[in-house]
Structures are given as structure tokens and as C-alpha cells.
Amino acid sequence: MKQRGIARTALLVLPAQVGFRALEATLPLLYAYWFGRGDATDVYYFAWAVFAFAGSLVFSMHQDSSLVPILAEERLARPEGLARLRGSLLAHTWVVGGAIALVVGAGALAWFRVRYDDAAFGVAARMVPPFSLYLVAMSTRTFFSTLCVVERQFFIQPIASFLGMLVNVGILAATHSSAGIAFVPVASLAGELVAASVLALFALRALGLRIALCLDRPPALMTFARLASSEVGGGAVTRVNPVVDQLMAGMTAVVGGGTMLRYSGDVATLPTSLLQAALLPVLMSHLADDFARRDLVTIRRTVHRALASVCGLLLVASALLFAVRRPLLRLVFLHGQMDEAGVDRMADILPYHLVGLAPFGALLVLARAHVATKNGAIMISMGILNAGTNVAGNLLLARVFGLEGIALSTSAVQLVVAVIFWFRFQRRLGELESAAETPREEAA
């Protein structure tokens, strides 16, 4: 019954996600049309990779994190303290997020000064302030998005995303010819602020959630800090992968290599982006509620069925994308500043991304299962495994296959991590079942 509830909710949310997030999916196409490929786009994508790595320190604090099961348990056990708990979480988010943004911004400027010549450094340096502010805005958006997920309100996120992306694209449409790609982070910041504002208004006005801003440290906050530190650490290590991939792409001496790697990866992971938007928040909220009631039988059944469904759908999607890759990429990318040779090379890279599509879907499901059962402590070790395997794979495969080898390395890493996640989840369920049996044995 619970599984049908998850599937039904996900199917209801999916049209909204497809419709409202379609504009977001067009961003790589618009970037290719407006900016093509070259040194400036490679500078942008490297800067994006650096701040995406930093963003994992903030983003993963809330989105699909241990905050969901913690709030689910507090709602059952201590509803009278929720307002101050939410307020403390938000205040600490701004304090920690602001500090991280300052440190990352200063570090990025220093690194870009070493890496780039004067002209490229000028482009990179202009991106640092808006990217830094973007991190704080993103953490605020994901906080309010998580509050909505806990309340089983899944439709507001795609609406907020659409409105934010509409502002983002509108600004770029008006400025791309004069400001260039260096203005992209400014447009992204504006869109993120709009999305965060929509979610905050919905949570406060429509849902009537109370938030009492404070810097208290209730036990639930400390539990979240402990679990989130592991989740954040694991996410931060994993987020090194796009930075490493972009560095390795730059070492291949292919003009626009990092840009082509990014665009082909975006196309390959489009099915999983819909999966993350429509299914995984629903799955996470159900698993968190089941864990709050310690219904381990339902958790096991739900995860097994989710894995079968997700892997099956993604295998079909991989085969379809492989079959239509060349006409599809020409249709969507061969416009404006993007050249034919670049599109053809992206078609050669895409199959190597697709090898890892189904394992990546399994990885996403299992990661949520671990977090929902408060097993976030494993994320650091899994992140180290992820990043270490990717570095080794890049060093080996990029030398042999070039850009295709970098994509293949990512796919191999996703398979390895998914398999290990599976075995560790089985162990986690065994530990929980043993803990549940002990009190009954003592009572007998």
C-alpha cells in the first residue's frame, strides 16, 4: 500500500516537474547557443565546478538529508518545540553558509589567480561574488524546500524552480550579447533568490509553519549537526569529481573539452534529474516516516521496489538515448555558436556516460535509504571511495580514451559505489532489526 502511495504521488508530481523544470533543462542548450565552446566557456565551467564543490557543503545540509527524518520524529514526539527548532536551523544555516561563502570566495580568487592569465582571470574573478552569494541563497531555498517535503507538499518546488529559472533565463536573454558568460552567475543568483522567496512564502503563509529565529542548540539540532557533518563531508569529497573531470579535460588539449564533457553529461543525466525531482523527495519522506515508527519491514520492501523500478526505467532510457544520440544532439545543440565538430564529439562521448546511468539511479535511491535511517555516518567513507576511484579511473582511462575515458571513469565509479551502498544498507537493516529485538527479549 505504501509503495502504491509513493508511486501515485510521484506520478502526480512528474507532470509538474516535467513542465515547470523544462526551462531549467534548456539552460545547457541556451549556453551552447549563446556562448558556443571555447576558453571563456571552459573558465565558466571550471568555476562552476569549484563552487558546486563548495555548494555541496551547504546544499547537502538540507536537501534529502537527515533533516527529513529528524523533523519527522520531532513532529511526532515534540511538536511544541518545532518553531524554535526550525528557527535555530535557519539561523545556523545563514551563519555557517555565510562563513563558507566568504572562505570559498577568497580561496577561489587565489586559485584562479594562479591558474589563469590576466584575461581569463578577469572573467573568473567577476564570477566569484555572485557565486558566493548564490551559495547562501541556495542553502535558504533547500531549507524551505525540505520543510515542504516533510509536510508532503511536493508541487511547490517545481513551481518555485520554474519561476526562478524564468528570471534566470530572462536576465541572460537580455544581457548575453553584451555581458558574456561571466554574467551567468548573476542571473543564477537572481533566480535562486526568487525560488527561495516563493518557497518561504508558501511554507510560512500557506502551510502556516512557525519559525522562531534563534541560536538555540536543542538535542535535535545537535543530532542533525552530527549526522550532517558526515553527509556534508561525504558530499564534499564526491563533489571533487567534477573539478577533477574538468582538470583532466583541460589536460587533453581539446579546445572546449570541458564544455563538451559537461554538455554530454547533462544530456545523459536528464532522466535522473527528473527522477530526483519527482520520485526521490517522495521516497525520502515516506522512508523517514517509516523509520520514525521503526517499520523496518516496509522500509526494506519500499527500497527493493524503488530500486527495481528505477533501474528498469533508466536502462530503457539509456537504450533510447543511445539510439537517437546523434540526431538528438544535432537538433538541440547545433545552433548559434556551437560548431558541428563539437556536437559530433559530444555524440561520441555520450555512450560512455550512459553506461553508468542505471547504477547512478540505484546510488541515488540507496543514498536516500541510508540517510532516512540515520546512517549518514557512512557518507564520508563512501565519498572518499567515490573520489579516489574517480581519480584513479581518470588517470588511467583519460590517457587511453581521452574525453570518453573521463566519462567512462564516472560511470564505473557509479557502479562501484552503488554496489557497496547496497551491501552496507543490508548491514544497516540487520543492525536495526537486532536493536529492535533486544528490548523484546529483555521484556520476555
Greatest alpha-carbon span in the chain: 77
What's the pLDDT tens digit per position in 279-331? 778 888 889 888 988 899 999 999 999 999 999 999 999 999 999 999 999 98
How far is it, in rounded angstroms, from Cα 139 to Cα 280?
A: 19
Contact between 213 and 91 (Cβ < 8 Å): yes
Confidence of residue 443 (pLDDT cuts 50, 70, 90): very low
- Residue 226, pLDDT > 80, answer yes
Q: Which residue has the higher pLDDT, 444 or 202?
A: 202
pLDDT grade for 34, boundaries at 50, 70 and 90: confident
Q: How confident is the model at residue 444 (pLDDT cuts 50, 70, 90)?
A: very low
Q: Is 210 left (phi over 0), alpha (psi -120 to 50) or beta?
A: beta
The predicted structure's pLDDT at residue 86: 95
Tens digit of pLDDT for each residue in 138-158?
889 999 999 998 888 887 888
All residues at 6 or more sequence positions from 324 whose CB lies less than 8 Å from its CB, including other chains: none
**What is the average pLDDT across 202-217?**
93
Q: Give the residue, 65 or 83, on which the prediction is more confident.
A: 83
Query: pLDDT digits over 400-419, tens only?
Result: 888 899 999 999 999 999 99
Residue 21 — pLDDT band, cuts 50, 70, 90?
low
Q: For residues 288 and 146, give the distance between their C-alpha atoms in angstroms, rounded to a whole number.
A: 12
- Buried/exposed code over 338-351 (b: 16+ C-beta within 10 A; e: otherwise): beeebbebbbbbbb
Question: Which of the four pLDDT bands, split at 50, 70 and 90, describes residue 198?
Answer: very high
- Given a cut of 70, whether residue 17 has pLDDT beyond it is no
**DSSP-assigned letters across all residues of 329-382:** HHHHHSSTT--HHHHHHHHHHHHHHHTTHHHHHHHHHHHHHHHHTT-GGGHHHH
The whole-number pLDDT of residue 4 equals 47
pLDDT band at 194 (very low <50, low <70, confident <90, very high): very high
pLDDT digits (tens, 9 = 90+) for 335-382: 766 788 888 999 999 999 999 999 999 999 999 899 889 888 888 888
Q: How high is the pLDDT of residue 238?
A: 67
pLDDT of the residue at 348: 93
Q: Which pLDDT tens digit goes with each residue over 98-111?
A: 888 888 888 888 87
pLDDT at res. 131: 87
**pLDDT more than 90, % of the chain:** 33
Position 177 scores a pLDDT of: 78
What pLDDT, on a 0 to 100 scale, did the predictor assign at position 247?
A: 80
